[in-house]
Amino acid sequence: MVVAASVVVAAGAVAGMFSALRDDGRADDGRADEARPAVTASPRPDALPVLPSPSPSATPSAPAGSGSPTPSAIARPAPERTEPRSAAVAVSRLYRHPRSQVLDWVRAHPSDPRREVIASRIGDHPAAVWFAAFSPGTVTAEVRAVTSGAAAEGRVPVVVPYAIPGRDCGGHSEGGAPDLAAYDDWIGRFAAGLGSGEVIVVLEPDSVAQADCLTEGERAARFASLARAGRVLKEAAPRARVYFDAGHSGWHSPARQAGWLRQAGAGSAASSDGVFSNVSNFHATADEIAYDRAVLAALGGPPDLGAVIDTSRNGNGAPPDGQWCDPDGRALGRAPTLGTGEERIHAYLWVKLPGESDGCKGPPGTFSPSYAYDLAR
């Protein structure tokens, strides 16, 4: 089953609405955005420590997903470890957009007993900004609003273009551009907003790993469009780092995924800086590191190609029953950082904002405070 990606920013939702962080590192809610340590010791390898819950929250059952088991041939790295001391500096370079659903909820609920945990453990961390609406007339300004805000603070934003035609194969996150010609135009307009500063682009979650729902001709056309998108993004913004969809460690084999990635242009330095994995999913960081290294080895290409991993909700690993849609019992994973200390792993990122539904605790991308609290505590 496909990873259901969140929809955080829609057309017109960004331009003109963010305010710059003050020099002391505080946002407009007065909360220090880097006051929390990058990682706190925990009995769970990837999770933040447990805090008591003020009240239980009811959770509807999520549909079971599917996916191939992690290939046994992949060598796992050493056991989980805490971030290096330099991680706090690396974290500070990632941009926390001052407007998000979680921050909006925090500001609107000053007396909620869950507020402090959600604010400090989710809201204070930098996360990706998604562009999920097909909005050719406004997307350049929307992207520029984010990247210019990050540049003013000397930080690195993470942006997610998510408008590929046939998105999510008609599942929970269906939508996107009407056709590939329209998408090619949209991605060019998206690229025009990236600016001259550093930026990380997580290009179209599910677009490669989920391509088995397409016919052979449709798949070839999509991959050609993705390769074109990578080139356009890199040409428009030389300091952009563009990563392509590698799925996750419980899905396709590294060889199969690498073959598709190669067709999509991910092995070329002109289009790509590497791959991303685990977006909106739950697989343990150690499994993703091993899987991504295997994918990169099979992909070939320049040796400096690397991977970024979504660690937003993988603190307890993936559910044993394969559920992927808002499953119970999950936890926050490692804090976002550009300093992983792991070979070929460029960053741990929070691509999916914790607390935003996959489609089972509400419409895809909607924020659930009870879900966020369950992940954070």
The residues that are catalytic are 206, 358
* Two tokens, residue 106: 């925090």
CA end-to-end span of the chain: 28
User: At 71, is the secondary structure helix, strand, or coil?
Assistant: coil
Q: Does 105 carry a binding-site annotation?
A: no
Q: Is 244 left (phi over 0), alpha (psi -120 to 50) or beta?
A: beta
Q: Does 314 carry a binding-site annotation?
A: no
Alpha-carbon distance of 119 to 102, in angstroms, equals 8
User: At 40, is the secondary structure helix, strand, or coil?
Assistant: coil
Contacts 24+ apart (CB under 8 A), 76-82: 76/286, 76/287, 76/289, 76/290, 77/286, 77/289, 77/290, 77/342, 79/45, 79/286, 80/45, 80/46, 80/284, 80/285, 80/286, 81/341, 82/39, 82/41
Half-sphere exposure of 55 (CA within 13 A, CB side): 8
CA angle 374–17–12, rounded 5-degree value: 90
Q: Does 186 carry a binding-site annotation?
A: no
Q: Does 350 carry a binding-site annotation?
A: no
CA angle 48–288–330, rounded 5-degree value: 35
* Closest listed residue to residue 376, CA positions, set 17, 152, 40: 40
Q: Does 361 carry a binding-site annotation?
A: no
Alpha-carbon distance of 33 to 27, in angstroms, equals 7
Alpha-carbon distance of 95 to 91, in angstroms, equals 9
Residues belonging to the binding site for substrate are 130, 248, 251, 281, 324, 352, 356
